[in-house]
Structures are given as C-alpha cells and as structure tokens.
Structure 1
Amino acid sequence: MANTPYPESYYAASANTAPPRPALQDDVETDVCVIGAGYTGLSSALFLLENGFRVTVLEAAKVGFGASGRNGGQIVNSYSRDIDVIERSVGPKQAQLLGLMAFEGGRIIRERVAKYNIQCDLKDGGVFAAITAKQMDHLESQKRLWERFGHTQLELLDQRRIREVVACDQYVGGMLDMSGGHIHPLNLVLGEAAAVESLGGTIYEQSPAVRIERGANPVVHTPQGKVRARFIIVAGNAYIGNLVPELAAKSMPCGTQVIATEPLGDELAKRLLPQDYCVEDCNYLLDYYRLSADKRLIFGGGVVYGARDPANIEAIIRPKMLKTFPQLKDVKIDYAWTGNFLLTLSRLPQVGRLGNNIYYSQGCSGHGVTYTHLAGKVLAEALRGQAERFDAFADLPHYPLPGGQLLRTPFAALGAWYYGLRDKLGF
C-alpha cells in the first residue's frame, strides 16, 4: 500500500515528534466518521468527543498533510469576503449571525493550545499593511465594521507607526489586530490530533476514502477497510478529489507558494519585525510573512489556479520578498514549498448537508486557519441538533465557477490578472 509522506517544507523539517498511526485494515463502527485530518476535521472531532460522540478520523496521507500543515501560519480574523459584502448578499439578519462568528476561530485556537498544552510557537499580533491611500481608507472602514461586531483589539497605524512594527518603506499605514497572530501550523494540527486521541478518538493515516455508501447507515470505504457511522463529516477541502461529485463544480483547488530563509539571527530579525507580528498586505493577490521561532523569515504569496506545482517556487516568491525587504538580497532560501487551498466563486465557505447524515465544510478561499476551527464547532453543534449557526453558513448562495471543469482555471486566472493589474496601478 502506498505511503504518502509530508512534502518537503520548513514545517515538516521542524515538526514535533508524532506517533505512527496505522492504516485502516478492518471494518469499524463509530458515531461519526470524519474524512480528513486537517484543521476542519480535527476541530470537528474534538468538539464531538468533548460532547460524548465516538469519532473515527480517516486521513489519506498524514495528519496535516494538506493546507493545515503547509499554510503561512497566520491567525487572520473574519472571512475571505468581509461581513459588509456578506450583508449586501444575504441581508442584515444572516450577516449579523455570521459577523458574530467572524472572530471566534482565533479564540478557539488559543483555547485549544492552552487546554491541551499544544507546543506550536503561538505569538499574538497581526498587521494588515496598506500600500496605497485607498487601501488605508479601506482599513479605516474595516476597523469600524469589525467594531460593530464587538471586535475591539484593533489599532490603526499611520506611516510612522507601521515603520515601528515592520522595516518596509512601501507601506503608507496599516491596522494592527492583537487578536491575530501566528503559529507553526503543522505543530498546531499535530497537537490537535494528539488531543483527539487523548479523548478516545481514533485516527487512521494512509487511509483515503475512496467511496461513500450513502443511506440511513452510511459507510465510508478505504482501500483495505470500511467505517460504518451514524454521521459522516467531509473535511478534505482542496484534497478531497471527486469523492463527492456535487461539491466539485462549485470550487477549484488553487496553489499558493511559501519560502523560508536561513535563520536571520536575532539582530536582523528584530530589525525587520521588532514586535514579531505577522504581516499581510492589502492587495488582491496579497503577500504575507512572519518570523519563525528560530528567526527565519517565512514569506508567501501568489496563486496558481488549478493547483499545479510551479517548477521554481523561489523564482516566484524571492522577488516579492526582496521588494518588501531589499536588505535580504544576500540571504539564502532554505525551503520552498506549495500547498493547495479551495477557492469558491463567492470566496465564502461552502457548508451543508447531503441527505440526513453527510455534512461538509470546504472552500475557505485562502482564509482557512481561523475559519476551519470555527467550522468544526459549528458542524459539531449541527450533529447535536443545534443548527442555527450551521444554517447561517449553509444558506449562503453558491454558484458553479464559469466555464465548467475545462475552462474554470483560465477564467479564474484572467480574473486574477485583472485584479493584480488594479493592485499595480493603485486602483
């Protein structure tokens, strides 16, 4: 049987020790079968276990193999489309409920880290950096918007203040969110997996779900076993393939690229990011970066539509890094990797139920670290019969990507080119 290891990355190279987990080779019964051992799946599993459910998790490769173990490691609040956009689409009542949940994911992460003593280099503080006056105007509006929903840990930064937190000359200002922050993402998901097992949950690795047998008592089939369950949670996101065909038409896997420098040393690291906050700019095709615990700069950006792996990641990302920090021109890149996220046309997550017992959440559209932790709680609530918050997400409208399977990638790339041009021209 194939054994899929982690792809090479800084995170895989610096991961905490984790126990080997077997592949499923038998028939088992459980209350809930979770497909996918990333943030969505493990967050769901933890909330369910804490409420007395028996839970079995199936992972096609290794815990955190997908986006959960490869992302930029930034705790960013709200959704990929903010609450005002949601309000215009669905009205004030539904938007109010979604708005109140927009800042919950980060709190869940911190609660998990504290409760289960997860060692993942958690740091507080995230900065949105404005390159143009128009972007700064947007941040001022965003601050007012978020404060409407009770989120008050925000500070606007003028040009002088932003240069106190990031040594980059291209920013005209920004906004600091002290409830944002950053983590070692793979170590977070490994800690959550250990927490699942500490509560009696079972995780099988190298056990891809190849078929779901639907019905009153659904069965998930793997190459060498099967799981009979009362409920199924599909939590594979960009790595779910065609397991649930009706979900594939309304989403598209996309790749994003990340590099990690050699260790910079305390002095240079302190000059670049004196308060050790993470940063993302306000462009449509944004760049994001932060320091690791051993003082490397982790820098990401760019989108490859259709989730192809670029031939030379460093050639794509290093120029972006040097535009931000020209002082790093002689610094060596030790790691370069790519990972996939799942894009929806609305840029909002797809949540729903198939029949009476198959639940899903997917399509974070690049904003998944916090949302996935919230999603686990919302899915667990729905399985317990408390569906108000689940329904607020499930009722969001979603549409097929234009062009169907064949043309959706070039259409999306054309749209990204248009918005990228707007970024460059300052519109």
Structure 2
Amino acid sequence: MSQLKHAASYYAASAHPQPARPELNRDLDVDICIIGAGFTGLSAGLFLAEAGYNVVILEQAQIAWGASGRNGGQIVNSYSRDMDVIERQYGKATADALGAMAFTGNQIIRQRIAHYQIDCDLKNGGLFAALSHKQLGHLVAQKALWERYGHTQLEMLDKAAIGQAVASERYVGGLVDHSAGHIHPLNLALGEAAAFESLGGQIFEQSAVTQIQRGPRPCVQTAQGSVRCQFVIVACNAYLGDLVPELAAKTMPCGSQVVATEPLGALAEQLIPSNYCVEDCNFLLDYYRLSADRRLIYGGGVTYGARDLAHIEAVIVPNLRQTFPQLSHIQIDYAWTGNFCLTLSRLPQMGRLDSNLYYSQGCSGHGVTYTHLAGRLLAQAIQGHNSQFDAFAKLPHHPFPGGRLLRVPLTALGAWYYALRDQLGI
C-alpha cells in the first residue's frame, strides 16, 4: 500500500526532523483511542496523557498531514461566527458560555509552547484589515464585542496607522489583536506529538481506520491491527471520509490555497514592518504573514467540495500582487492546497454519538485555536467534567441542504453572493 506523505508545502520542506512512527500491526488494549493526529487529536491526547491515561493516536498518513500542517499558521481568536451571532441565534446563555472560551485556544497554544519548549517560530500580533469603511465599522463593533467578553488587547488603526503596519494601499484601517500571532503550524504539531510521546502516548502513522466497532468497549480497526479501548475520539475533520456517516453528512470539506514566495530579505520588513499576521475582512478572505526565513506566505482561494486545483498560483498570485504590487517579479517557491471542514452554521461541532464515542469537527476556518480548546474539552468530558463540553454539544448540528449532491453548488452560490457584496461594498 502506498504511503501518504505531507503535501509539498513550505512547512514540510522546513519542518524539524522527526523519527519515523510505525504503522499499527498488532492488537492493543488501552484506555483511549484517538483517530487523527492533527491539532484536535494531539491536543486531546496530550491533555489525557497528562492526566495519566494510556492513549493511542491512529493517523492515516503522517502527523498533521491535513489542515493542521498546511494552514496559514495564524493564531486567530474566537470562532467563525462571533458571539453576537451566537447570542442572536442561540440565546445569551449560550453566547456567554462560548464567549468565555473564545480566547482559550490561543492561551493553550502558548502554554504548550512554553511548557514543552516547542520551537515553532511564534510571533505576536494579528491584524484584521478593512478594505472599506463599512468593514472598518464592523471592526469597531467587533472590538466592543470582544471587550464585553474581557478581551482588551485590541487597538484600532486608521488609514495612516495601518500603512505603518502593512505596506499596502488597499486598506482604510484595521484592528490589531495584540494577543494573536503566528507560528509554523507543522512544527507546532510535531512538538506537541513529541510531548505526547514523552508522557507514554503512542502514535501510529500510515494506519487508516477501516471500522469502529461500537459497544461497551469499542474496537477500532485498521488494515493490520486493532485498538480496543474504553473511549474513542474521532478527530478527522475534513479528512473523515465515510468512516462515521452521520458526522460526514453534517460537514463539507473545503479547500484553501497557499503560496510561499522566495526569501525576501530586507524587503520583508518593508512589506510588514509590524510582523503581524494579516487577514482582510472579505467573506472570501485573503490571509498572509512572514515566515521565519522572510518569505511571504499568502493564502485564500476557497474551493467548495475540497477540489484540488491544478493551478494554485493562478488563483492566489493575482491577489498577492494586488495587495503588494512591489512583488510583481518575485518568484513563488511553494504552492499547496489543504482542506478545512465547514459546517452549515459556521460553528464547530462537538459531541458524543454513544456514551463512549466522542467527536469534534467543523472548525470552519478557525481551526488553529479552536482545535486546542476542543482537545481540552474532550479530555475534560472523558474525565466527567462536562459543563464546557456541553455548551458546544447542545448546539444544533444541521446537515447541509441538498445532501452530498447539492451541498457544494448551493454553498458556492451563497459564497458568490457574499463575494459580490464585498466587491460592491454593500
């Protein structure tokens, strides 16, 4: 059987050396089996290993092979739907509960980096950049909303100030979140994996799960082995496939495209003197930042249904050069795509299918921080502490209208509508 290797990304090319993890080829009996070695699975596994549980993580490819090792590397707080939308749709109590956790994932990441001395190029500061005065007004409201929930490390920028932070003429202003930041996501995941293994956890790569036999003591099967356990955590997100059909029906994998330029040297500091990570405020947004070796990593170009694009550069580079015309002759060294998991509500889905089968999925574009929070909540729930877990679990998890046949065109049509609104400034 052919092995699944990391995408040919800048992250894979610059990742720290790692020992080879074996394929599962025997039968094991442990406390907990986690399916998926991305941020959700690694976060949950590390919390559980710290609590003394015997944990196995099964990964179909390599650690952080999916979105966790391919994303933009941006530490962005809150969720893809903010607390005002949550309150409007689900009530104040739910908004308060989720709002109290909206900045926790960021804190967990920083705690992990500090405690386990993970080398992943952590830099501080994130910028929401407004392309219109209407978007700038939304950022003013967002600042007030986040401050209601105790998050005060925020600063509004006018046209002149944002020009000092980013050398682009596209923006009329912005909002800096000084607690945000950016990292090398694959190196973060590899560091968390090493921390998990240092506590006795086991990770098996190239070990795709073929079946979950449910029951009082579930059995998770791969082609060459099995894991019998007390609890199972499904942490596959956009790469779940048909393993758990009732979960797959409630999400849609979507692709995001990323490029990395050649090293820019001194020009890098001229482009982003602040060294913040940046995302604009469009519905189909662009995001970018500098790498540790002074490349510009620039992403966007969402595709619904997780289609691999044949010409990633043709989608991303025009936007990159519109943002930074001074890069018109710069070479692109890497271009890759990766899938994230979208829900109909744009809020993450967390819950249990049986008393001992837990899941978390559907980060909807805010996965770096949410997955680390999810790992803590899943670990707490397995230990019997359910209050924060239940705040997510009680949210309705609706399937996409039209089923698998129509969910992609219907969602793409809705995205086209909002993209048109962005272009028209309405």
TM-score scaled by length of structure 2: 0.99
- Deviation per CA, 1:334-367: give whole Å up to 9, x if none: 0000000010000000111011100000000111
- 1:48 corresponding residue in structure 2: 48
Aligned residues: 426
- 1:293 corresponding residue in structure 2: 292
| CA-based RMSD | 0.6
- 1:426 corresponding residue in structure 2: 425
- 1:278 corresponding residue in structure 2: 277
C-alpha displacement of 1:67: 0.2
Q: Contact (CA 8 Å) 1:79, 1:348: kept in 2 or not?
A: yes
- 1:218 corresponding residue in structure 2: 218
- The letter for the 2-side match of 1:290 is R
Q: CA–CA distance in 2 between the matches of 1:3 and 1:169?
A: 45
- Unaligned 5+ runs, structure 2: none
Matches of residues 232-381 of structure 1 in structure 2 within 5 Å? Answer: 232-265=232-265, 267-381=266-380
Q: Contact (CA 8 Å) 1:2, 1:206: kept in 2 or not?
A: no
C-alpha displacement of 1:90: 1.2
Q: CA–CA distance in 1 between the matches of 2:47 and 2:148?
A: 28
Deviates more, 1:394-403 or 1:289-298: 394-403
Q: CA–CA distance in 2 between the matches of 1:422 and 1:79?
A: 22
Q: CA–CA distance in 1 between the matches of 2:208 and 2:283?
A: 34
User: Where has structure 1 moved over 2 Å in runs of 4 or more?
Assistant: none
- Does the alignment pair 1:90 with 2:77? no
Deviates more, 1:104-113 or 1:2-11: 2-11
SS of the equivalent of 2:24 reads coil
Percentage identity across paired residues of the two chains: 66
- The letter for the 2-side match of 1:202 is Q
C-alpha displacement of 1:2: 2.5
C-alpha displacement of 1:302: 1.3
Q: CA–CA distance in 2 between the matches of 1:19 and 1:141?
A: 47
- Deviation per CA, 1:55-96: give whole Å up to 9, x if none: 000000000000000000000000000011111111111210
Matches of residues 101-250 of structure 1 in structure 2 within 5 Å? Answer: 101-250=101-250
- Deviation per CA, 1:162-188: give whole Å up to 9, x if none: 011000111010000011100001000
C-alpha displacement of 1:258: 0.1
C-alpha displacement of 1:398: 2.1
Q: Contact (CA 8 Å) 1:105, 1:371: kept in 2 or not?
A: yes
- The letter for the 1-side match of 2:291 is S
- The letter for the 2-side match of 1:361 is S
- The letter for the 2-side match of 1:332 is Q
SS of the equivalent of 1:101 reads coil
Q: CA–CA distance in 2 between the matches of 1:3 and 1:272?
A: 39
- Unaligned 5+ runs, structure 1: none
Q: CA–CA distance in 2 between the matches of 1:87 and 1:218?
A: 37
Q: CA–CA distance in 1 between the matches of 2:7 and 2:176?
A: 33
- The letter for the 2-side match of 1:23 is E
Q: CA–CA distance in 2 between the matches of 1:3 and 1:398?
A: 34
TM-score scaled by length of structure 1: 0.99
Q: CA–CA distance in 2 between the matches of 1:407 and 1:28?
A: 41
